[in-house]
Amino acid sequence: MSRYFCHDHPETLNVETKVLDVRPGAVVLEQSPFHPGGGGQVADRGTLTSANGQARVTGFETVDGRLWHLLADGAELQGVVQAAVDAEFRAMQTQLHTDAHLLNALVYQQFNGALLTGAQLGDDGTARCDFDLPDVDNDRLRALEAALNDVIKQDLPVRYAWIPREEAESTQGLLRSRSVAPPPSPDGMIRIVEIVGLDRQACGGTHLASTGQSRPIKILKIDNKGRHNRRVKYGLA
Ligand SMILES: [Zn+2]
């Protein structure tokens, strides 16, 4: 996973920066507060404002290691810009994503190391995680709701470390996801997210500073997806 500015400065959502390169409907910035998505994380939304106009950021594209910010209506911005992340959208995604960690930590612990096979956050305050759980009573999964809200109430701190890829691969349980495993950064390091006292796993997403910053969550639905997968849909209460 690449190192993003938002990994080190998750609270900084507004940055004054410079356009380094431009093509119709896209720019490269000297510094970007946006999370471009990937690894189960939804891309940020927001705006870029320059002296001659404002453009909505609609997506991201990485080409040859450079992050292009895609702009609505083919806008072309130059010079100094104010880059602003949509704070409300980031806050919701950060909650849903951190809660996905809590859910997959509890599933991993209570169901013999069951792995995540997919995750998708919605823009409506709900998200879903798929797990490799061939033989499990769905009521046991539903019962995780109380344990999840208990972890939120305990307000466990969230910490980060970067470790070499080989160390991550040789440590049981750090690479949790079968489908959304984060690639290493160009220097071969992997970002580890620790929910202190609960869980450690590799992830490049955005997280709350502590679990207590999440609203309570509700498990909305459990679906069987094929013979091996259970899909757990949850939402912010
Ligand atoms: Zn994460």
Spatial distance between the Cα atoms of 230 and 49, rounded to a whole number of angstroms: 44
Distance from the CA of 58 to the center of ligand 1, in angstroms? 22
What pLDDT sits at residue 228? 87
Q: Is the dihedral of CA 209, 215, 219, 221 positive or negative?
A: negative
CA 179 distance to own-chain centroid: 14
pLDDT in tens, 126-184: 999 999 998 888 999 999 999 999 999 999 999 999 999 889 888 888 887 755 555 66
Say yes or no to pLDDT of 79 above 80.
yes
Q: Which residue has the higher pLDDT, 116 or 83?
A: 83
Q: Roughly what angle, to the nearest 10 degrees, separates helices 144-154 and 87-110?
A: 120
Say yes or no to pLDDT of 103 above 80.
yes
* Closest to 99 (Cα-Cα) out of 223, 1, 199, 224: 199
Radius of gyration of the chain (CA): 19
Distance from the CA of 40 to the center of ligand 1, in angstroms? 8
What pLDDT sits at residue 183? 61
pTM (whole model) above 0.95: no
Distance from the CA of 72 to the center of ligand 1, in angstroms? 28
Spatial distance between the Cα atoms of 187 and 94, rounded to a whole number of angstroms: 26
Distance from the CA of 199 to the center of ligand 1, in angstroms? 11
At 221, which amino acid appears? K
Lowest mean pLDDT among 11-15, 43-47, 177-181: 177-181
H-only helix segments in the chain: 5-8, 87-110, 138-142, 144-154, 165-170
Q: Which residue has the higher pLDDT, 231 or 42?
A: 231
Distance from the CA of 200 to the center of ligand 1, in angstroms? 10
* Cβ-based neighbour number of residue 118 at 10 Å: 17
